[in-house]
Amino acid sequence: MRGQYFREISLGCVFLGLLGFLGIFAPAFFELQPLLSRLSAQTPAMVVVVGMSLVMICRQIDISVGAQFGVVAVVAGLVSASGAPLVVTLATMATWQEALRLFQQGKFVNLPVGVQWFGLSQVQGQMVLIGGAVGFVGVAAWALKNLMIGRRIYAVGSDAEAARLAGIDPRRTTMGVFVVLGGLTGLAAVMNVVQSPQVDPLAGSGLEMKVIAAAVVGGVAVSGGRGRLWGVFVGLLLLATVNPALTYLRVESYWEKAIQGLVLIVAVVADRFRRPPKFSA
């Protein structure tokens, strides 16, 4: 059991060690309101990383999520600003990012009163976002492990031809995970919109690399067929903690990318030398 969950246990220990270090040398890191703000800011990525993990487990990749995120955020903001209900459907591609820039010319979209934090207080809205995101990750992790669709995704990512011979349609499964990722990216964009009185058309810049890195650090194999969402969740929190930790420790922020890159390299190297069966939930 311990060997089976080695990546998750290792990540958890590193993350707890970092939190313990901050507790000793930068206790202000744990002040309630800044902590809630940092966590709520990560909730859109928590949702997107679930979809990205499914795509990667299926031995695919999608680098358009940042552009999709920006498009949906602006559309949601414009719809909301027009007085219409905040209902968004996602149907976009990565190339829309340039169209979005031309359309908005970098201008922010101002939102009406009542949209931010769902009309609740800031603390209440943050708690709703954090609780909803963590609960969603938990349900998704359970479903991936216990439902037939999860087994199909692992099977296709492990060996698409073997999965086909077993009666699984690899093309349909692959299309399904991309549709799920698109829908979750749209949901994440809306979760981002409600956290600010304005919508930044470039809010999704770099999101794709953030969630891919979190998935890899969390144990999703780049070759497909392996990974668990709880490990991905911890990986995202670990990477997201680096920048604020450096700030509280008064270390130059340019070290953030170097540290995150080092963590990613270590994760990839460790995955290279792991030899368990690829088909694992």
What does the pLDDT profile of the chain (281 residues) look like in tens digits?
556 777 888 889 989 999 999 999 999 999 999 999 999 999 999 999 999 999 999 999 888 888 778 777 777 666 666 655 453 333 344 444 445 554 555 566 666 667 788 888 999 999 999 999 999 999 999 999 999 999 999 999 999 999 999 999 999 999 999 999 988 998 998 898 888 877 777 777 888 889 999 999 998 988 888 899 999 999 999 999 988 998 898 888 778 778 877 887 877 776 666 655 444 44
- Tokens 């600003």 locate to 81
- In three-state secondary structure terms, 273 is helix
In this prediction, residue 82 carries a pLDDT of 60
246's tokens: 């450096």
N-to-C CA span, the chain: 13
Cα–Cα distance, 126 to 81 (Å, whole number): 22
Query: Residue 62 sits in which domain range?
Result: 10-15+34-273
Question: Rounded CA gap, 242 and 137, in Å?
Answer: 21
pLDDT of residue 88: 35
Beta strands in 15-161 (DSSP E): 109-110
22 part of a folded domain: no
Indicate yes or no: pTM above 0.75: yes
pLDDT given for residue 258 in this prediction = 81
Within-domain flag for 149? yes
Q: At what angle do helices 32-57 and 122-146 cross, to 10 degrees?
A: 30
- Residue 3 domain flag: no
Element (H, E) at 198: strand 198-199
Q: Is the dihedral of CA 76, 79, 84, 90 positive or negative?
A: negative
In a domain, 105, yes or no: yes
State the angle between helix axes of 229-248 and 255-273 in degrees (0 to 180), rounded to the nearest 10: 150
Indicate whether 254 belongs to any domain.
Answer: yes
Residue 21 lies in a domain: no
pLDDT, averaged across the chain: 82
Q: Could you tell me if residue 26 is inside a domain?
A: no
Is residue 210 in a domain?
Answer: yes
Amino acid identity, position 249: L
Q: How many domains does the chain have?
A: 1
Residue 104 φ/ψ, nearest 5 degrees: -90, -20
- Whole-angstrom distance, CA of residue 188 vs CA of residue 77: 13
Residue 80 confidence (pLDDT) = 64
